[in-house]
Amino acid sequence: MHTLMQRSRWGRYLAVVLLLSCILLGFPQRAFSQVGTFTTFDVPGASYAFPLSMNEEGDITGYYFGAGVYHGFVRDRNGIVTTFDAPGAVPAKGTFPNSVNEEGMVVGTFYTNEVNGTNASQSHGFVRDKQGTITTLDGPPAPPGTAANSINEDGVIIGTNGFHDAFVLRTRRPFTLFRVPDATSTVAVSINGEGVIAGSYYNNGGYPGHGFVRDAHGVITTFDAPGSEASITGTLVVGINDWGTIVGEFFDENLVWHGFVRDRAGTISTFEAVQGVTTLVFGINNEGTIVGYYGAGLTRGFVRDPRGSVTTFEVPGSFGGQTQALSINDEGDVAGNYEDANFATHCFVWRREE
């Protein structure tokens, strides 16, 4: 049986080998603080689901697996869940939403079998409006392959194209491609409300990765998290907020994941939710609050405030602490998933009390 930890990495880094699947780490004795209200929900037909992005109004998007197929879903602020597939998506490869903006527009990636008449898959980006209309996003045709990773409040979409370049797509304008100088692959991961883009880039076609930030004028600055230079993965960027704070993670030579924070001035700090235990980062809001989960095999969620104080938590009714925090909005609400005592997976929204 696959654990939640093994499955959830698929949504953001499909190419990363999940080395953590064989690591079993115990939890230190620790007090938990989880004041607030937990609301749980299920996606119809899902064996498991991953709520990867939540806007300020409480709209949530992500993907789920059911009956051998990956699909997209949206849960609106009233709790109504709608499932969908991008037109032409191959069931075995599926539809993967990544980001929802304040207008309820969702972007993501889906896959088809149409590379030179073979069964090799080709990726396409998509944007889904609030009414449910889905538009396919395909960048310049050579080389093929488009993935849409993030959309900001102005509707600007970013992602990757052709496995080498990143792109910026503004309403009623053509694709703008860019690449970190001397990089063989540039992956734009997140865009903020100011139009600043953060992501990772790779040399010689593979790992380790390095971080980059591209300002609204197109100026690119590269960076590495301290301690990531000798790691297998290098620096993997996860998100950026409107203040220019970037978060991400890296896998060190001791086979432990660490989180990092890079402020607008370029100062980088690394952190662990619990010392010596794998920490995986999934998001940051405009208050500077970071969410993710820690552990391997068994997991608990964490929230790290702008001062660096960490609150750990588990959903009431979860089995052995099997809780993952996967997104946070500007209201401080946290969304994620958990497993119950019957190994069934459910989603949750935690409205915290400060």
This prediction's pTM: 0.89
Which residue type occupies 343? F
- What is the mean pLDDT of the segment spanning 198-209? 87
- Amino acid 136: pLDDT: 95
How far, in Å, CA of 284 to CA of 237, rounded? Answer: 11
Closest CA to 225 of 255, 190, 250: 250
Backbone region of residue 164 per phi and psi (left: phi > 0; alpha: psi in -120 to 50; beta: other values): alpha
- Is the pLDDT score of 2 beyond 60? no
- Amino acid 266: pLDDT: 97
- Amino acid 17: pLDDT: 26
- Amino acid 211: pLDDT: 97
- Is the pLDDT score of 249 beyond 80? yes
Q: Where are the domains of the chain?
A: 1-49+272-354
How far, in Å, CA of 311 to CA of 301, rounded? Answer: 8
- Amino acid 22: pLDDT: 29
- Amino acid 205: pLDDT: 62
- Is the pLDDT score of 5 beyond 50? no
pLDDT averaged over every residue in the chain: 87
Taking only the tens place, the pLDDT of each residue in 277-325 is 999 999 999 999 999 999 977 899 999 999 999 999 999 989 877 899 9
- Is the pLDDT score of 95 beyond 90? yes
How far, in Å, CA of 320 to CA of 55, rounded? Answer: 29
How far, in Å, CA of 151 to CA of 102, rounded? Answer: 9
What DSSP element (H or E) covers 176?
strand 176-178
Q: Whats the size of the chain, residue-wise?
A: 354
Taking only the tens place, the pLDDT of each residue in 71-80 is 999 999 999 9
- What is the mean pLDDT of the segment spanning 78-102? 94
- Amino acid 139: pLDDT: 92
* Lowest mean pLDDT, pick from 16-25, 141-150, 171-180, 211-220: 16-25
- Amino acid 116: pLDDT: 56
- Amino acid 354: pLDDT: 63
- What is the mean pLDDT of the segment spanning 251-258? 87
Alpha-carbon dihedral 176, 134, 9, 330, rounded to 10 degrees = 80
Q: How confident is the model at residue 233 (pLDDT cuts 50, 70, 90)?
A: confident
Residues 300/291, Cβ–Cβ less than 8 Å: no
Taking only the tens place, the pLDDT of each residue in 35-63 is 789 999 999 999 999 999 999 999 999 99
Taking only the tens place, the pLDDT of each residue in 12-33 is 443 332 222 222 233 333 445 6
